[in-house]
Amino acid sequence: MANTMNVLLAGFGGQGILFTGKVMVYAALMEDKNLSWLPSYGPEMRGGTCNCSVVISDEAVGSPLVTNPDVLIAMNRPSLEKFVGTVVPGGTILVDSSTVDIKVERTDVTVYYVPATKLADENGLKGLANIILLGKLYKEKGFVKEESLDAGLQKCIPPKKAAMLDFNRKALKLGMEQ
C-alpha cells in the first residue's frame, strides 16, 4: 500500500508521546489526508511505558493499531527493546540516544540516533525532546508540507499556553538541523 506511513511512537508517560502523535495527525488533517491516532490506554499510561499509533495515508485507514511500523520513534530503552523487531524491513527508527543506551543491531533498517533530551536541555527546551525527534523525522520523511506541520503545532497548543508555541517551533527547527 503506497503512500501510507505507519508510525509508532513509544516512551515513558510524560515524554510527550501522545502530543507528538497529535501534532502529526493535525498536520495531516491540514492536507485532508486520511489519518488515525490511537493511544495505548490503561494502567501503562499512569507512569509506565506509553505508546501511540499514527497512520497517515492517501487511502482509508484500515487498522489504526500499528503493529509493524514504517517508522518507530523510541524515547526509552524498554520501548526500543520491545518494538525494534516489529519495524518493517527498510523502515526507519529514531532513537533518543541520550535516554537510550543501546544500539539497534538490525541492518535492514535506517537508524537515526539523536541525543534529543540532551539537546533540549542545552537549548532551554526542557521537555521538548519529543518535538526535536519530530523535527528529525520531518527532515528525513517530510510527510507533510512545512506550513502544515506548523499549523498542526498551533492546533495542539491551547491559546492559554501560546508562549509554548515558540519553544516548540525552536525544537522542531533544532530537530530538522540534526
Partner 1 sequence: MSEKVLMKGNEALGEAALRAGCRHFFGYPITPQTELSAYLSKKMPKVGGTFLQAESEIAAINMVLGAAGSGVRAMTSSSSPGISLKSEGVSYIAGSDVPALIINVQRGGPGLGSIQPSQSDYWQATKALGHGDFQLFVLAPSTVQEMADFVALAFETAEKYRMPAMILSDGMLGQMMEPVVFPNETEIHEGDKSWAACGHKNARKHNVVNSLYIEAKDLEKTVVERYERYEKVKANEQRSESYLTEDADIVIVAFGASSRVSRSAVNAARAKGIKAGLFRPITLWPYPETELEKIVPTAKKFLVVEMNMGQMIEDVKLVVGGRKPVEFFGRTGGIIPTPGEILEAIEKM
Task: Report if residue 90 touches partner 1, rule: CB under 8 A.
Answer: no
In the complex with partner 1, which residue's Cβ is closer, 31 or 121? 31
Residues 15-34 that bind partner 1 (CB under 8 A): 22, 25-26, 29, 32, 34
Nearest to 113 by CA among 127, 128, 102: 102
Task: Report if residue 41 touches partner 1, rule: CB under 8 A.
Answer: yes
Q: How far is the CB of 7 from partner 1 (least distance, A)?
A: 14
In the complex with partner 1, which residue's Cβ is closer, 46 or 105? 46
Single out the residue of 35, 75, 87, 129 in contact with partner 1 (rule: CB under 8 A).
35
Distance (Å) of CA 126 to CA 78, 118, 122? 22, 9, 8
In the complex with partner 1, which residue's Cβ is closer, 124 or 159? 159
Q: How far is the CB of 158 from partner 1 (least distance, A)?
A: 14
Task: Report if residue 65 touches partner 1, rule: CB under 8 A.
Answer: yes
Single out the residue of 12, 13, 31, 61 in contact with partner 1 (rule: CB under 8 A).
61
d(CA 17, CA 7): 12
Q: Give yes or no for a contact between 152 and 23, defined as CB atoms under 8 angstroms apart.
A: yes
Cell numbers for 25: 495527525
Cα dihedral 20, 69, 113, 46 sign: positive
Single out the residue of 14, 58, 67, 122 in contact with partner 1 (rule: CB under 8 A).
67
d(CA 131, CA 156): 12
What b-and-e string marks burial along 27-39, b requiring 16 or more CB atoms within 10 Å of the CB? Answer: bbbbeebebbbbe
Could you list the residues that contact partner 1 (CB under 8 A)? 1, 22, 25-26, 29, 32, 34-39, 41-42, 59-65, 67-68
